[in-house]
Amino acid sequence: MLEKSQTPTIRFKGFTDAWEQRKLGDVVEWAKGNGLAKATLNEQGHGNEVIHYADLYKFGPVIDAAIHWSIIDEGYEVPANSLLFPMSDVTPSGLARTSALMKHLVRAGGDTLVARVIGQAGADFLSYEINANAERILPMVTGTTVRHISASALSSLDVAMPSRTEQTRIGEFFASFDHVITLHQRELTKLKNVKKSLLERMFV
């Protein structure tokens, strides 16, 4: 992360203030998801929007839409402007990631660590920053066969904080990139399906 009083080499015009170095534990309040076994989930939109911990590996830095729902009244209701971390995985790199949830009324299941962002910090900005420096999380991972990460360990993670206005500009900038990438990925998937269909029909 940035050292105290340092600034990034590329910035939006008009922003000149130094970024303040903080600890993640100073800008979030921790909670944990609960319940929501995979068997209780559906993809048809029935019930509450939910996030199973395995879903976190399918999301980018910012979650803008849930992919599962549940009619079971379980799960921790995540406040908007929160970070979500998977708490266990078979590899350390699987834990070196986070996603920002900006929506209201979404519930998190077990093995999901929730960091509600407080003060003048934006979860989307923090998510891009943490994911850009994911290797800093690796020394915090414990365990052998199954690896784990904890709130107490992540609380010591250094984060560099610009003003809320600059955070918003940066978050929106990278979100626009992600949107374009998603559109191209969908188009690529369609083209691959067309190619597959043609191959199957043109060769015997």
**pLDDT at residue 204 above 80?**
no
Residue 116 lies in a domain: yes
Q: Give the pLDDT confidence of 66-88 residue by residue, as tens digits.
A: 999 999 999 999 999 999 999 99
Question: Where on the phi/psi map is residue 75: left (φ > 0), alpha (ψ -120 to 50), or beta?
Answer: left
Residue 192 lies in a domain: no
Q: What is the mean pLDDT of residues 35-60?
A: 96
Residue 88 lies in a domain: yes
User: Per the structure, how many domains does the chain have?
Assistant: 1
Q: Phi and psi dihedrals of 178, rounded to 5? A: -60, -40
pLDDT confidence of 39, banded at 50, 70, 90? very high
User: What does the pLDDT read at residue 54?
Assistant: 94
User: What does the pLDDT read at residue 87?
Assistant: 97
Q: What is the mean pLDDT of residues 98-113?
A: 96
Residue 41 lies in a domain: yes
Q: How many CB atoms lie within 10 A of CB 180?
A: 9
Q: What is the mean pLDDT of residues 91-99?
A: 96
DSSP-assigned letter for residue 84? E
Tell me which residue range forms the domain holding 153: 20-162
What is the bridge-based pairing of β-strands 68-70 and 41-42? antiparallel
**pLDDT at residue 5 above 60?**
no
Residue 79 lies in a domain: yes
Q: Which residues of 94-114 are buried (b: 16+ CB within 10 A; e: fewer)?
A: ebbbbbbbbeeebbbbbbbbb
Residue 179 lies in a domain: no
Residue 157 lies in a domain: yes
User: What does the pLDDT read at residue 203?
Assistant: 86
The CATH number for 146's domain is 3.90.220.20
Residue 122 lies in a domain: yes
User: What does the pLDDT read at residue 6?
Assistant: 61
**pLDDT at residue 7 above 80?**
no
User: What does the pLDDT read at residue 64?
Assistant: 85
Is this prediction's pTM over 0.85?
Answer: yes
What is the bridge-based pairing of β-strands 28-32 and 112-117? antiparallel
Q: What is the mean pLDDT of residues 167-195?
A: 93
